[in-house]
Amino acid sequence: MEKEVKGNEYVLEGADGFGQVRIANDVVARIACLAAMEVKGVASMAEDMTNEILAKVGIKTLAKGAVVDIEDGIVSVNLTLMLKFGYNIPATCEKVQGKVRSQIETMTGMKVRRVNVRVSGVTGE
């Protein structure tokens, strides 16, 4: 399949000319959020400044706490998380990075360049 990026979508062009598959950036961001939430020690996704600014100008994102950039078919993800008290922060973030990378690559076929994790707080819940 030939791959290209158009706007906020990743387009997969079928080799047989049968049609296209378009994957929106928000879908990739949602995959990242769901994967991160599966890791023990992650309490929730947190708003970051980018999501807050977008919300103020009327652009809603489906994936609170995740910003995805796709350039030449390579994905970069920025996540903002709240972690649970008592978990090792670097170890938990490393697990999040691995899980997010694996799920995006498995579900979309795209390569992941980086998964940046920002811990915005710790919760006792």
CATH architecture of 25-123: 2-Layer Sandwich (3.30)
Higher pLDDT, 62 or 72: 72
The pTM of the full predicted model, rounded to 2 decimals, is 0.80
Over residues 31-57, the pLDDT tens digits come to 999 999 999 999 999 865 554 555 555
Return the SS3 of 33.
helix
pLDDT at 59: 46
Q: Is 33 left (phi over 0), alpha (psi -120 to 50) or beta?
A: alpha
Three-state SS letters, 51-118: HHHHHHCCCCCCCCCEEEEEECCEEEEEEEEEEECCCCHHHHHHHHHHHHHHHHHHHHCCEEEEEEEE
Map out the domains of the chain as residue ranges.
25-123
For residue 114, pLDDT over 80 is answered with yes
Contact (Cβ atoms closer than 8 angstroms) between residue 31 and residue 103: yes
